[in-house]
Amino acid sequence: MDSLQVKSFLESKDIKVTVKRLAVIECILRIKGLFSAIDLHNQLSDRLDVDLVTVYRFLTVLKEKGIVRDVLSDESVQYFEMTSMDNPAHPHFKCYQCHKLLCLQPLTFDDSLFFIQSAGDLHIDHVSVVLSGLCKDCDQ
């Protein structure tokens, strides 16, 4: 997506467009996988005067609009990923030694149905599955 497409996309979601917001969303689009506000801030700070609070606030807006989803928290760091038809909700793996976070294969419809049915009459608005252990590199 070029800058004009990104601007049009944000406007279609009723999101106010600013130079900093455009830079943040363009940065997110370049990232393949999970990211944190700190990751975005680090990538942007050498070319744009944007503070970490601004990044967090914009991620909150993007989450409320369904553009990103929060995946997991780790030691006070919240991780996110883009939502799209090409990136359905899926489980994640966290290595407790090197702290690497990996995306796993998406759940099947039957797998998802299991979670929903197991909740009974509870209202589910978010499902997050995180497996933890040792990654291949650390398990040697």
Of 59-63, 88-92, 97-101, the one with minimum mean pLDDT is: 88-92
Asked if residue 87 has pLDDT above 70, the reply is: no
Asked if residue 127 has pLDDT above 80, the reply is: no
Query: Which overall architecture, per CATH, does domain 1-83 show?
Result: Orthogonal Bundle (1.10)
Domain 88-140: give its CATH superfamily.
Answer: Ferric-uptake regulator, C-terminal dimerisarion domain (3.30.1490.190)
Angle between helices 52-64 and 19-30 (to 10 degrees): 70
The rounded percent of the chain whose pLDDT value lies above 70 is: 94
Separation CA 140–CA 135 (nearest Å)? 9
Asked if residue 85 has pLDDT above 70, the reply is: no
DSSP of 64-85, one letter per residue?
HTTSEEEEEEETTEEEEEE-BT
Query: pLDDT tens digits for 13-44?
Result: 999 999 999 999 999 988 878 899 999 999 99
Residue type, 136: K
Q: Closest Cα to residue 75, out of 104, 101, 42?
A: 101
Q: Is the pTM value of this prediction over 0.75?
A: no
- Ordered by start, the domain boundaries in the chain are 1-83, 88-140
3-class secondary-structure state, position 27: helix
Q: Report residue 133's pLDDT band, with 50, 70 and 90 as the boundaries.
A: very high
CA-angle at 122, arms to 112 and 105, nearest 5°:
20
